């Protein structure tokens, strides 16, 4: 299947999300692939997703806090697997935008991400 045009996910936090494969584009719940750009100073609340997520950083740096016990900073060309059921927070507290690609299995959905208030 060729997917030439991603679905642009509307956001209110300045983050650019373009889903290439997943529920919004192909109605496939098995996996999702999204290209994202997080602006400087961006963060989202902790979440405990029901999917595995691989993040691959293209440029900039991305901070990942795991269970409030460990903080990892990824740079260009680095990746991480966050397994389902892990409490995690993603952020870009740095001065430049972070560009990355995320792969989720099963596909990302708001019903499965379980973001904290």
Q: Where are the domains of the chain?
A: 7-113
CA dihedral 21, 24, 30, 35 (to 10 degrees): 40
Please check the confidence at residue 3 and state whether its pLDDT lies above 70.
no
Beta strand 70-74 with 16-21: parallel, antiparallel or unpaired? unpaired
Distance CA(49)–CA(33), nearest Å, equals: 16
Structure confidence at residue 4 as a pLDDT band (50, 70, 90): confident
Average pLDDT over residues 79-105: 98
**Residue 73 pLDDT:** 98
Structure confidence at residue 71 as a pLDDT band (50, 70, 90): very high
* pTM of the shown model: 0.93
Q: Does domain 7-113 have CATH number 1.10.3720.10?
A: no
């Amino acid at each position: 299947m060729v997917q030439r045009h991603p679905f642009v996910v509307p956001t209110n936090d300045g983050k650019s999300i373009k889903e290439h494969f997943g529920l919004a584009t192909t109605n496939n719940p098995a996996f999702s692939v999204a290209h994202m750009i997080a602006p400087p100073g961006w963060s989202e609340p902790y979440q405990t997703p029901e999917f595995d997520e691989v993040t691959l950083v293209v440029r900039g740096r991305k901070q990942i806090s795991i269970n409030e016990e460990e903080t990892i900073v990824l740079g260009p060309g680095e990746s991480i697997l966050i397994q389902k059921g892990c409490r995690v927070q993603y952020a870009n507290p740095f001065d430049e935008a972070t560009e990355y690609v995320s792969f989720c299995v099963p596909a990302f959905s708001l019903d499965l991400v379980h973001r904290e208030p």
